[in-house]
Amino acid sequence: MNVYDSARMADVLAPLGYQPVDDAAAADLIILNTCHIREKAAEKVYSDLGRLQLLKASRGHAAERAGGPLVAVAGCVAQAEGEEILRRAPYVDMVFGPQTYHRLPEMVARVARGAGTALDTEFPPEPKFDSLPLPAAVGTALAGGEVPAVTAFLTVQEGCDKFCTFCVVPYTRGPEYSRSVAAVEAEARALVARGAAELTLLGQNVNAYHGQEEAGTVVGLAGLIRRLARIDGLARIRYTTSHPRDVDDALIACHRDEAKLMPFLHLPVQSGSDRILSAMNRGHDVAEYRRTIDRLRAARPDLALSTDIIVGFPGETDADFEATLDLVREVTFASAFSFKFSARPGTPAALLDAQVPEALKDERLQTLQALLRAQQESFNRGMVGRVLPVLFERAARHPGQIAGRTPYLQAVHAQAPAAWIGTVHDVRILAVGPNSLTAAPVGGAESGPLAAPERISA
């Protein structure tokens, strides 16, 4: 979501004449768009700011304020730290949270006219989306290519009301908010018009989406996906991140019926122990998660899954951890993100007794990651010899090679015409490398519907 937010900040600043540059040393305005999910997030920001202070002090060329470029801290660390940033790093010009970046032009103007620093960490009553322009045309992408032309992010929902005990999101992104269907569709059409063939719908809790249609009726994520699927030129739809509690019948049916919705779902489970899920305040148990997976797989047999898992949550016993391994063995994941629990200041879990020793967390994480790695490798090996539709996104490093992604987000390299970039083509998977699959074009007669991948066990 920070990638999306950064792109929208660029859109908001473009009318003021700001353009992205590749090198911070050449910038007139530097924005650190921060994420609070990272461990020791605030300390990392302060250390980056220390480097920017040196840059600011060393700069002699014209910028809005004497002494170098404007420096802003945005995102969830800015939201959480607020005024503390201005106290510890007085050379910072602007501090603003994820819900107020539409006010960037006013903040820049205030600082530029010498009216002091800008601090804006409110949760304003007016949704920021109402004030944001549609995505800019090609050519104003961020430095480093973070805004790809062929695939794009689109925030449809923000914030969270679930209050998992380990998570800062409800405090930094605020309560759940869903954009209207018309607003999302207008942005989707703008993105497709500038070349996006795949959209990933974003939300902290994306399948809690409940947006109003023009007639005033409220639709869930399935209704939104069905609307967007009608857009000509849009080939693929994905969404992330979803919560097991919000996978409803309509969404399962959407996975069954909607060809543009990719058969790859990120559904965080966090733990395979009911005791730990309850301590995490996840609001579901392991049996419910299993049932949801079974129903999704019955509706869409070629569906592959990824997940998030935390090991070493306070109070996690060997038996709890074994239950997590059992669930992973049973469900089998095509990919996963796994982490050691680390306390986030201000969250209930940070105050829990029975913190698990670091060495034990390390051991459990290694065991879990070995299992997840084996499942991922097995899943990838199972693709060899298959014909898969790949959306090609860019030229690859080697001459004549282009790169894209399978429906399961696996990176693919193929010797194929550059004209294929931006479109979906069937290719045969030849081999699996450490980071990507190698493929070759197939003739029309050889192409066919994607067969359901075998279940993987490890």
Question: Rule CB under 6 A: which residues touch ligand SF4?
Answer: 160, 162-164, 167, 169-170, 204-205, 243
Q: Which residues have CB under 8 Å from 113's CB, separation 6+? A: none
Nearer to ligand SF4, 160 or 439 (CB): 160
Nearer to ligand SF4, 244 or 407 (CB): 244
How near is the Cβ of 309 to ligand SF4 at its closest, in Å? Answer: 12
**Residue 150 tokens, joined:** 């062929």
C-alpha span between 369 and 312 (Å, rounded): 14
C-alpha span between 156 and 4 (Å, rounded): 11
How near is the Cβ of 308 to ligand SF4 at its closest, in Å? Answer: 8
SS3 label, residue 58: helix
Cis peptide before 292 (omega within 30 of 0): no
How near is the Cβ of 220 to ligand SF4 at its closest, in Å? Answer: 16
**Residue 22 tokens, joined:** 């590749």
Nearer to ligand SF4, 170 or 389 (CB): 170
How near is the Cβ of 167 to ligand SF4 at its closest, in Å? Answer: 3
Nearer to ligand SF4, 170 or 314 (CB): 170
Tell me which H or E stretch contains 17.
Answer: none
**Residue 225 tokens, joined:** 């996906």
Distance of CA 434 to the CA centre of its chain: 23
Nearer to ligand SF4, 151 or 205 (CB): 205
Nearer to ligand SF4, 179 or 243 (CB): 243
C-alpha span between 65 and 34 (Å, rounded): 23
How near is the Cβ of 357 to ligand SF4 at its closest, in Å? Answer: 24
C-alpha span between 71 and 48 (Å, rounded): 11
Nearest in space to 156 (alpha carbons), one of 132, 134, 178: 178
The DSSP bridge partners found for residue 86 are none
How near is the Cβ of 336 to ligand SF4 at its closest, in Å? Answer: 15
